Amino acid sequence: MSGVLLDRWDGREVVTLQMAWGVPALEAYSSIGSTNDRARALAEEGGDAWATVVADEQTKGRGRRGTTWISEPGAGLWMSVLLDGGLTPTTVPLEVGLACAEAIEEVVEGIDIGIKWPNDLLVEDGKVGGVLCEAAGRRIVAGIGINVAGAPDSSAVVDAGGLPPRSLQVMAGNKLSRSDLAEALVRRLRWRFGEAKTLGHGLDAAT
């Protein structure tokens, strides 16, 4: 079930963010089960490509193979974007991961983001985020989780065999804007997938 829609997110009017990001629809929630689940519902309702869902908190966030993705209130960028389903699903996670890395490096000066295929965003000896892409009818849902202001308790993650979580804000040494990061991310996604279509890369042979 979806939470209550917000008029403001990250200190700014949602309608202003929607225009700044150039997306056809933007839904923002204080708390939601999963942004990917809500984006999937939008796709099933005929939602346009680039429709976007963000939330301060996810109560049922997930990673690959159904693992739990810890999405604490206000601690990160929890976001899902609808992409054109004509793109080859196997190439999408890498392109989304590269867009995430580029957006983070644009917003956080001096940081170097690595990618562990297929979905981990790495920095130094830890993990700052991840990507989960899922087919949704004529669309692909690109789910993105990035630790901005905080990171989950590291002991639980490491004990489960994962990489220790890291926070971008701690590494940057100053407060970061989730909305600025989201805007940079949408811009990078548009560039990457726009280029893929123009050059014929990442497209299904039947399209």
8-199 in CATH: which number? 3.30.930.10
Q: What's the pLDDT score for residue 61?
A: 65
Confidence (pLDDT) at 205: 30
φ, ψ at 74 (rounded to 5°): 70, 5
Cβ atoms within 10 Å, residue 180: 15
Q: What is the pLDDT of residue 28?
A: 98
Q: What is the pLDDT along the chain (207 residues), one digit of tens a residue?
A: 467 899 999 999 999 999 999 999 999 999 999 999 999 999 999 999 999 999 999 887 665 655 655 667 777 999 999 998 777 767 899 999 999 999 999 999 889 999 987 778 998 878 899 999 999 988 999 999 999 986 665 544 544 446 788 888 888 877 889 999 999 999 999 999 885 555 544 433 322
